[in-house]
Amino acid sequence: MYSKEELQAKSVVQLKDIVKEIGAKIKSGDNKETIIYTILDKQAETSAQPAAKRKRTRIAAKKEDRVYSVNGIEGENFDVQKPQGLQVPWQCPSTERHSLLVILLCYTYIIYCILMIFFLKCRVSEWKHGID
């Protein structure tokens, strides 16, 4: 980058060399002052242009986890495990869990029925005796 004072100290031939170096365009009949301002304008343009931004890259999500274990003669072996979701009893194919769930629901229903019978008995006895 040249300052205005540095350019004024140079000859017209040196200024024309600088113009060729930076790629500016001048006319053959331009005087020293016009050449200086052409150089300064070109320097301002090149310094104002932002540097090319690096394009962002997308990081792909991994679908499997690697488990490191030390086995055998070779040392580390990689065992690939696929991620497993939460297993809920009603989504599992196991018949044992299904039967346990059915038994639990039956016992819950039986307890509900016993409580309703007790509640109705109390309400009927209150009604018979006229208690509100």
| 73 secondary structure, DSSP code | T
Tokens of 95: 């018949």
pTM of the model: 0.38
Could you please report the per-residue DSSP string of 69-120? EEETTTEEEEEEE----PPPGGGS--HHHHHHHHHHHHHHHHHHHHHHHHHH
Looking at residue 110, what is its pLDDT?
93
Looking at residue 29, what is its pLDDT?
86
Relative to beta strand 75-81, strand 65-71 is antiparallel
Secondary structure of residue 80 in the 3-state scheme: strand
Tens-of-pLDDT digits for all 132 residues of the chain?
Answer: 788 899 999 998 999 999 999 888 888 888 899 999 999 998 888 876 666 677 778 777 666 655 555 554 555 445 555 455 555 555 555 556 667 788 888 899 999 999 998 888 887 777 677 665
